[in-house]
Amino acid sequence: MLLQPAQSEIIPSEVDTTTHISKRISIRIPLVSSPMDTVTESRMAVAIARQGGLGVLHRNLSIEDQAHQVDVVKRSEAGMVDEPITISPDATIGEADELCGLYRISGVPVVDAEMRLLGIVTNRDMRFEHDPTRLVGEVMTKMPLVTGPVGIAGDDAMRLLAQNKIEKLPLVDPQGRLKGLITLKDFVKSDKYPNASKDPQGRLRVGAAVGFFGDAWERAMALIDEGVDLLIVDTAHGHTQGVLDMIRRLKSERAASEVDIIGGNVATFAGAKALVEAGVDGVKVGVGPGSICTTRVVAGVGVPQVTAIHNASRACRPAGVPVIGDGGLQYSGDIAKALVAGADTVMLGSLLAGCDESPGDLVFINGKQFKTYRGMGSLGAMAARGRKPSYSKDRYFQSDVGTDDKLIAEGIEGQVPYRGPVEAVAYQLVGGLRQSMFYTGAGTITELQERGSFVRITSAGLRESHPHDIQMTVEAPNYSGQ
Ligand code: XMP
């Protein structure tokens, strides 16, 4: 299928790509990174949120590890950090260094047991120290430090940082107790990433996947405690009682007022309607379209993705529930197609798995660079081998399968070409969407959904649509071949 061009009075740079991922959360670009263990951990979540999208942390790891990742994203950038990481003067600089590495921060305020500010220890204090057992109290920059009062305005904080040529401004109460921290880096990042998806406290937004089985409830509560913005009850078949019960319970208890709850995956009108009736704030659509999926072959089940999105959106739109089109996107042009079919955002796995910020190392094969990418229903992800326990089995309703050799895989393991930083990839993807909006004469995502119309093509049309009758000699940044 292709989108038909229509009369247009807008140029690509003028379109607005703002949309809703869930009822209460809007984002500036409609890109969501997939909760897969080769796609989204905290680095990816930070990177995609800075671009204006949103990352969903995968759940194939312990509750503590997943909650920690939410914390890392939340601390990565903030108007003000209200519970800064601190350290005691009796800790060693080795411990301080480890803490900085863990949270990717450059320094930590030093406090006593009553949270009174004693000093600050930064990379600069530690850089020339060769003995990691030295105590923080000995090497820190001691009080008096430049500090600000609680509630200081952003401009005043910036002035204090600039006047004193410092990078961190601890905020203290009249008794000298540490109450917050403002960092120069956060001001710089705000200027650099004007579209960043942020919560009301100025922290980057992040989502996380949970299941409905076993310790799923405990997991959901731990993620909420760390400040997650939305939870996705993420399974391969969302039109099941367990998923609907989990959503109802989340919506009826404390989460309802704090975070948005998305359910999935479904691929039919009835499936989407059931989720809407359970009270979801968003519906995730896709059974089997993913690049690594084998569900349609192994189980013979699924619905072509454009049809699935269209049918699900018929149930969601009247209820004001946004739709995420999950899986199957290969090129930037597929984003606009998903949106015209009825999605409000798209979820990406393979298109982001090759980025610097996805988990895993680069591998070189015949001089070319690749990164690992695997389905969450692949044997590798579902089997309990290796360091982490597997929570991926229950996404495919196989928690009761005792041994790995009895698992029924619904995905494959492989590798995708290295694609560079998320910033560059998102730029090309959103750039492609902007072109689509220009061609269809849509100034906003809503106009694209309303005005966009499809034309069905044949296999001859598909062949004509891709480059043909030429040998490609230079790879384009947004097209690597069919
Ligand atoms: P793309 O096409 O972006 O798709 O790589 C990513 C989406 O695929 C889903 N997913 C799977 N589906 N077996 C499946 O049937 C799997 O092993 C599997 N792993 C992920 C998921 O919805 C993801 O966002």
- The residue length of the chain stands at 482
What is the rounded average pLDDT of the residues 143-147?
89
Residues 6+ apart with CB under 8 A from 405: none
- Considering the candidates 395, 419, 434, 451, report the single residue annotated as catalytic: 395
Residue 154, pLDDT score: 79
Which pair of structure tokens corresponds to residue 366? 């015949």
Using pLDDT thresholds of 50, 70 and 90, give the confidence band for residue 393: confident
Residue 277, pLDDT score: 98
ipTM value > 0.90: yes
CA 379 to CA 374: how far, in whole Å? 9
CB 325 less than 6 A from any atom of ligand 1: no
What is the rounded average pLDDT of the residues 291-317?
97
Binding positions: 234, 286-288, 290-291, 293, 326-328, 349-350, 373-377, 410, 464-466
Residue 327, pLDDT score: 97
CA 224 to CA 231: how far, in whole Å? 8
342 or 142: which leads in pLDDT: 342
470 or 431: which leads in pLDDT: 431
CA 232 to CA 241: how far, in whole Å? 16
Domain assignments of the chain as residue spans, ordered by start: 2-76+197-465, 93-187
- Considering the candidates 100, 293, 316, 355, report the single residue annotated as catalytic: 293
* Closest to 194 (Cα-Cα) out of 437, 23, 29: 29
CA 137 to CA 134: how far, in whole Å? 9
Q: Would you say 35 and 57 are in contact if contact means Cβ atoms under 8 Å apart? A: yes
Model pLDDT for residues 461-482, shown as the tens digit of each residue: 999 999 998 988 888 889 887 7
Q: Would you say 272 and 266 are in contact if contact means Cβ atoms under 8 Å apart? A: yes
For the chain, what is the mean pLDDT? 92
CA 173 to CA 151: how far, in whole Å? 10
CA of 88 to the centre of ligand 1 (A): 45
Strand-pair category, 368-374 with 362-365: antiparallel
Known catalytic residue at 395: yes
Model pLDDT for residues 273-286, shown as the tens digit of each residue: 999 999 999 999 99
Question: Which of 36, 232, 350 has the most ligand 1 atoms within 8 A of CB, as the residue to mutate?
Answer: 36
CA 118 to CA 103: how far, in whole Å? 21
Binding positions for NAD(+): 234, 286-288
Q: Would you say 198 and 190 are in contact if contact means Cβ atoms under 8 Å apart? A: no
Q: Would you say 22 and 7 are in contact if contact means Cβ atoms under 8 Å apart? A: no
Sign of CA dihedral 393, 395, 401, 406: negative
Which span out of 122-136, 138-152, 454-468 was modeled with the highest average pLDDT? Answer: 454-468
CB 354 less than 6 A from any atom of ligand 1: no
Please determine, for residue 7, whether its predicted confidence score (pLDDT) is greater than 90: yes
44 or 475: which leads in pLDDT: 44
Using pLDDT thresholds of 50, 70 and 90, give the confidence band for residue 190: confident
CB 67 less than 6 A from any atom of ligand 1: no
Using pLDDT thresholds of 50, 70 and 90, give the confidence band for residue 387: very low
Instruction: Give the homologous superfamily in CATH for domain 93-187.
Output: CBS-domain (3.10.580.10)
What is the rounded average pLDDT of the residues 389-404?
83
Phi, psi of 159 (to 5 degrees): -60, -45
Residue 389, pLDDT score: 60
Please determine, for residue 37, whether its predicted confidence score (pLDDT) is greater than 90: yes
Model pLDDT for residues 204-255, shown as the tens digit of each residue: 999 999 999 999 999 999 999 999 999 999 999 999 999 999 999 999 986 5
Write out the DSSP string of 102-157. HHT-SEEEEE-TT-BEEEEEEHHHHHT---TTSBHHHHSEESS---EETT--HHHH
CB 409 less than 6 A from any atom of ligand 1: no
Dihedral-angle region of residue 108 (phi above 0 means left; psi in -120 to 50 means alpha; beta otherwise): beta
CA 471 to CA 247: how far, in whole Å? 51
- Which of 139-143, 252-256, 397-401 comes out lowest in average pLDDT? 252-256
CA Rg, the chain, in Å? 24
CA of 381 to the centre of ligand 1 (A): 12
Using pLDDT thresholds of 50, 70 and 90, give the confidence band for residue 106: confident
Model pLDDT for residues 361-374, shown as the tens digit of each residue: 889 998 899 999 99
* Residues above pLDDT 90, as percent of the chain: 73
Residue 282, pLDDT score: 98
Q: Would you say 383 and 401 are in contact if contact means Cβ atoms under 8 Å apart? A: no
- Which of 186-190, 363-367, 442-446, 462-466 comes out lowest in average pLDDT? 186-190
Burial letters 54-85, b for 16+ CB under 10 A, else e: bbbbbbbbebeebbbbbbbbbbbbbbbbeebb
CB 264 less than 6 A from any atom of ligand 1: no
Q: Which residues sit opposite 345 in a β-bridge?
A: 324
Q: How far is CA 253 from its chain centroid? A: 25
Known catalytic residue at 203: no
- Given 1.10.1740.10, 3.20.20.70, 3.40.50.1820, 3.90.15.10, which CATH number is that of 2-76+197-465? 3.20.20.70
